[in-house]
């Protein structure tokens, strides 16, 4: 869906079932151990209080990461303004001036097992790929059909607008490549 606002044309990300599953599965995986330990150690609380406390801290951390991930995905937007591409997601915002862009293309990225924050259907922040190196990702697609934007200083951004063809066409119409 594309919105026309005072800021420019706003493109939302493509959200797949994997995106939804990944964000909520992360919360479940990080909180289940706490619930299991609480249940198992209910009768032995006095001897294992520190273990339960540690698991509780880990569970709260997991819930915080999961909540932030859901917030980032829900607020993710790609905005084409008069002179830049703005990427907004959660509290993060990136502004890429048209004059700095040297390459725009839809690519399939090569998996690197040492990547940072990449799940099925979601890639956020700086992610390492075998073929492109480090790409700053704000994408609901980790590998396939990623719109790659490269700047003159060789910084790369990966995004996944819902209407990828129209986004790329609009962006290229602003560029002097």
Phi (first) and psi of residue 115, to 5 degrees: -70, 165
Query: Rounded to 5 degrees, what angle do the CA atoms 167, 173, 177 make?
Result: 110
- The pLDDT confidence band at residue 132, using thresholds 50, 70 and 90, is confident
Q: What is the pLDDT, as a whole number, of residue 57?
A: 79
Percent over 70 (pLDDT), the chain: 75
Average pLDDT over residues 127-134: 86
Residue 126 is predicted with a pLDDT of 87
Cβ contact 146:160 at 8 Å:
yes
Residue for token digits 């209407």? 163
**Is 26 strand, coil or helix?**
helix
* 112-122 mean pLDDT: 69
pLDDT bracket for residue 105 (50, 70, 90): very high
DSSP result, 37-82: HHHHTSTTHHHHHHHHHHHHHHHHHHHHHHHHHHHHHHH-EEEE-S
- Lowest-confidence range among 27-36, 65-74, 84-93, 144-153? 27-36
Q: How much is the pLDDT for 108?
A: 87
| Residue 37: predicted pLDDT | 64
Average pLDDT in the chain: 81
> What's the pLDDT score for residue 177?
57
For 13-48, the pLDDT digits (tens) are 887 776 767 766 766 766 676 666 666 666 666 666
- Which burial class, exposed, middle or buried, applies to 69 when counting CB atoms under 10 A from its CB (0-12, 13-18, 19+)? buried
pLDDT value, residue 98 = 94
**pLDDT score, position 78:** 93
- pTM for this structure? 0.75
CA distance 63 to 28: 8
Domain ranges in the chain?
1-177
Give bridge partners of residue 26 from the DSSP assignment: none
């Amino acid at each position: 869906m594309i919105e026309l606002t005072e800021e420019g044309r706003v493109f939302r990300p493509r959200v797949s079932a994997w995106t939804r599953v990944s964000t909520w599965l992360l919360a479940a995986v990080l909180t289940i151990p706490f619930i299991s330990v609480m249940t198992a150690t209910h009768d032995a609380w006095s001897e294992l209080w520190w273990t339960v406390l540690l698991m509780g801290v880990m569970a709260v951390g997991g819930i915080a990461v999961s909540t932030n991930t859901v917030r980032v995905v829900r607020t993710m937007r790609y905005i084409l303004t008069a002179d830049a591409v703005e990427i907004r997601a959660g509290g993060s915002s990136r502004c890429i001036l048209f004059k700095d862009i040297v390459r725009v293309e839809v690519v399939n990225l090569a998996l690197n097992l040492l990547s940072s924050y990449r799940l099925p259907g979601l890639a956020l922040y700086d992610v390492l790929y075998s073929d492109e190196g480090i790409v700053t990702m704000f994408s609901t697609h980790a590998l396939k059909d990623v719109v790659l934007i490269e700047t003159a200083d060789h910084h790369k951004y990966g995004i996944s607008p819902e209407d990828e063809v129209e986004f790329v066409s609009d962006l290229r119409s602003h560029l002097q490549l």
